[in-house]
Structure 1
Amino acid sequence: MSDETDRRSALRGDCARCFGLCCVALAFAASADFALDKPAGRPCPNLRGDHRCGIHTELRSKGFAGCTVYDCFGAGQKVSQVTFGGRDWRSGPAEHARSMAEVFPVVRHLHVLLRYLTEALDLPAARPLHAELRTALESTERLTRQTPEELSALDVAAHRRRVDVLLRRAGESARAALPGARGRKKDRRGADLVGARLRGADLRGADLRGAWLIAADLTGADLRGADMIGADLRDADLTDADLTGALFLTQPQTDAARGSAGTRLPASVVRPAHWTVRH
């Protein structure tokens, strides 16, 4: 197995090597996504003693749809097996459990950056930036391997801002290389498009970084080459939309949306099992 394959594999969650950290460290509130309130640091009542979910195959029907669209990007097994050397949070002192719960979100943020940087290095148009991108990837990976104390003290927001400058430049290069890119209005960065009617919209190469697309109607929309970093696609309708080559689209974003058999997706994500197949 190549180093590249190893790196990509490490950015996928492996629950068998994790101590159920997402079910402990994260907080959630009773809503359409979660059936109950749970504060950060308290184990979910559905978490079994073997760190597995007791209702994993029934999460949606039991009111925990939010769990089905979460991805730790490999941070769970990194914290469990590397940061804490395989020491179970259940068997240690309370401080040990608190430290794991505190460190997990930090490493998850870093792993998301690793996911984006890995994709940016695959962009031919961003080749002039590849040396800088590799340096950023290596420095981010080193940060993930710090001690619990160092990770707790890390200013992860500052590191993300530095990396984001590179990712933005990589995305701009890729979008500029799209056919017909010149002269088109594409900046929807951070736009409030909640519930927007964008059926059939031409959003090729659009900058949708951080855009609010909650419950937007994107049926049949052309999103080829759009930059999707941080775009909120919860309950967005992607039926028959074309996201071929969409930049930085992640599995959680896709899982949170609605789609169909006709939705075209980039190779970096898989079609969610819960999407309705329309005939």
Structure 2
Amino acid sequence: MSNHTVLSRDDRSHEHLRAKCEDCFGLCCVALPFTASADFALDKKGGTPCPNLQSDFRCGIHRNLRKKGFKGCAVYECFGAGQKVSQVTYQGKDWRETCDNETSNEMFTVFPIVQQLQEMLWYLTEALSLKEAATIHIQLRQAIDQTEKLTLLSPNQLKQLNVSTHRAEINNLLVKTSELVRAGSKSKRKIRRGADLIGANLRKADLRGANLRGAYLIAADLREADLRTVDFIGADLRDANLSGADLTGSIFLTQAQVNAAMGDAKTKLPRLLSQPSHWSA
């Protein structure tokens, strides 16, 4: 980002929820397991360094992840959990500096827990920025404060944390936010939550105000679709074609979801998200 870029208040509030790999010790490249598939070129066990991880904690094929068969890595987003665990939870001590496997394994256990909390913070911060959700802004601020405090717990406390229970509480606020935002846009299509829309032909469809929470939109044709004020939380957009689609004003859409989809220069994204490098011009 240019030093001359002027960030709005909402942009600034999201900055600490973006991955800063230079402040992380390659935790996602070590802690997380993956299986050889269309997303990964090989099998890797959790807690084992990826063979592409270099001694400086940088990825040796970062610019060619998709070409090398690591699309899953190009899509992944930690929401700033990497730098928080590296620099805050463990105060700048990396997993290679530990004197025993127990401590390094603890880091790898803590990382995905903090990642989930950071993702909740992303959604809550977005909700707080929405004027339609003004009636619950106090509750949203309280939830942000509470969740932020949880991210700062000790490793042992984090391991004992019931993330599912906390997520359920946060989800209630996010559902309410969604209802408030979508109230002014009545979707012309009745789509149930978690709908199977794999490969669906939704080209030029008017989906304004639709609830696509948890929907399976893998390889769906959404070219030139009107997706304003759509709730995308948890939607699977892998290989969905968003070319020319309008997603301005959509809510709870993440960079990871956008990275997993296809699009072009005519695709209109929410302000906080950017066009992936693999999209066509």
Instruction: Report the TM-score when normalising by structure 1.
Output: 0.95
Do structure 1's residue 140 and structure 2's residue 147 form an aligned pair? yes
Q: Is the counterpart of residue 267 in structure 1 residue 271 in structure 2?
A: yes
User: Matched residues in 1 for 2:264 and 2:15: separation?
Assistant: 27
Q: 2:142 is paired with a residue of what secondary structure?
A: helix
C-alpha contact 2:189 2:207 (8 A) present in aligned 1: no
Which segment drifts farther, 185-194 or 46-55?
185-194
Within the alignment, does 1:233 sit opposite 2:237 as a pair?
yes
User: Which of residues 86, 94, 107 in structure 2 aligns to 1:100?
Assistant: 107
Offset from partner CA, 1:26-68 (integer Å, 9 cap, x none): 1111111111000111110111111111111121111111111
**Does the CA-based 8 Å contact 1:114-1:137 persist in structure 2?**
yes
In structure 2, the partner of 1:82 is: 88
> Which residue among 50, 59, 62 is the counterpart of 2:56?
50
Question: Does the 8 A contact of 2:188 with 2:206 survive in 1?
Answer: no
Residues of 1 paired with 2:214 and 2:70: CA distance?
25
CA offset at residue 166 of structure 1? 0.4
Residue 248 (structure 2) aligns with:
244
Give the unaligned 5+ runs of structure 2: 1-6
What's the counterpart of residue 45 of structure 2?
A: 39
Which residue number corresponds to residue 161 of structure 2?
154
- How far does residue 186 in structure 1 lie from its aligned partner after superposition? 4.4
**Cα offset for 1:103?**
0.4
Is contact 1:208-1:231 (8 Å) kept? yes
In 2, are the aligned partners of 1:125 and 1:177 still within 8 Å (CA)?
Answer: no
Counting aligned pairs with the same residue, the percent is 57
Structure-to-structure mapping, 1:61-72, within 5 angstroms:
61-72=67-78
Distance 1:152 1:160 in 2: 15
Q: Output the aligned Cα RMSD.
A: 1.6
Deviation at 1:177, TM superposition (A): 2.7
Question: Which of 185, 193, 196 lines up with 1:192 in the alignment?
Answer: 196
Letter in 2 for 1:51: F
Paired AA for residue 57 in structure 2: H
2:20: which partner in 1?
A: 14
Consecutive unaligned residues of structure 1, counting only runs of 5 or more, are none
* Partner deviation per Cα, 1:116-157 (whole Å, 9 max, x = no partner): 000001111110000001000100000000000011111111
What corresponds to 2:36 in structure 1? Answer: 30
Aligned-pair distance for 1:188? 3.0
Post-superposition offset of 1:74: 0.3
Whole-Å Cα distance in 2 between the matches of residues 222 and 189 of structure 1?
Answer: 18
Query: Does 1:129 find its partner at 2:133?
Result: no
Q: 3-state DSSP class of the match of 1:115?
A: helix
Q: What is the deviation of 1:7? A: 3.7
Total equivalences in the alignment:
274
Per-residue CA distance 1:235-277 (angstroms, 9 max, x = gap)? 0011111111111110000010000111111112101111012
Aligned-pair CA distance for 1:6: 5.3
For residue 173 of structure 2, the aligned residue among 160, 166, 188 is 166
**TM-score, normalised on structure 2?**
0.94
Q: Is the 8 A contact 1:224 1:245 kept in 2?
A: yes
